[in-house]
Amino acid sequence: MSQKTPTIAIRLLGFSAKEEETFFAVLAVAREKGYSYTCLMPGSVQDPDMYIVNADQLSALATLSDLNPGEAQPVLLIGKTDVPLPYQTMSKPIRWRKIFDVLDDLVGKRELLLTTLSAHAPLTVHERRREKRLDFDLTDPMVYDRMRRQPVAKGGILVVDKDTHFREYVAAVMDPYGISVTLASDERSALLLDRNNQHALTLINTSTPNVDPYRLCDGLKKQNDGFKTSVILLIDKSFVYQTTLAERVKCSGFLVKPLSRRVLIRTLKKYLQLSN
């Protein structure tokens, strides 16, 4: 493998906290050869490059079915399932020395696929409704009904930050799509600007002075009641993301700074429902 690739981001599904801790520790080990891996923390909205799923957990398989990953997001199933699925499997107990070989093989095939697709056509996300999904869904139908009824807010992007650099960066990325990007430096101005514009997406830099990101998220969500809006926190590694509090104020999740252009673009496209 002559050329290093970016670190592969893995989403874990259906594992206990102790099992996740082991995955984080094992996969974070520096390697002289092969790919580098990192597991996405709960709450991260970064798109994973691949999934590792506990096949013993029905809820994890249901989540995987709803996500409907394509070949560009390979899946490794750990354990056995009675449901026939077209994914690589690995039995339990996990052979930790062997797992790197399995992951490297899956990611190698993914990189070949991405290279081939980029040479011929843009890579697009699968249309979930066209794909056959598993015949179980653990989500309350009322949730889907509420989601369908909410119109998407049309006010573009609001960036809450202490300086203009990140806003200018996001604005440059969104310029080809005609998406406006507004800057607010404190909670009061953020709420005022959003009241007038109803932003579809707000990015809050948690290091912004005198800004409580959870309180601001709560305020934004309440004044946009009835509209589909998203709030994402931009955190550094020292910030402790409080999952329970974030869920209470309906925060979509977080991204870890600094953001690569690839992660930023994929996230913005996903939350603004932009085509490639």
**Cα 88 to Cα 85, 95, 232, distances in angstroms:** 9, 15, 33
Which residue type sits at 129? R
Calculate what percentage of the chain has a pLDDT beyond 90.
Answer: 62
Query: How would DSSP label each residue in 224-239?
Result: TTTSB-EEEEEE-TT-
DSSP reduced 3-state for 243: helix
pLDDT at 68 over 60: yes
Give tens-digit pLDDT for 78-127: 998 888 888 999 999 999 889 999 999 999 988 887 777 655 554 444 43
Non-local CB neighbours of 223 within 8 Å, separated by 6+ positions: 191, 194, 195
> Which structural domains are found in the chain, ordered by start?
8-130 (3.40.50.2300), 144-272 (3.40.50.2300)
pLDDT at 193: 95
User: Which residue has 């029905």 as its token pair?
Assistant: 58
- At 184-202, the pLDDT tens digits run 999 999 999 999 889 999 9
How confident is residue 7, by pLDDT bands cut at 50, 70 and 90? Answer: confident
Place of tokens 């607010």: 184
pLDDT of residue 117: 62
Do the bridges between strand 37-39 and strand 201-205 make them parallel or antiparallel, or are there none, so unpaired?
Answer: unpaired
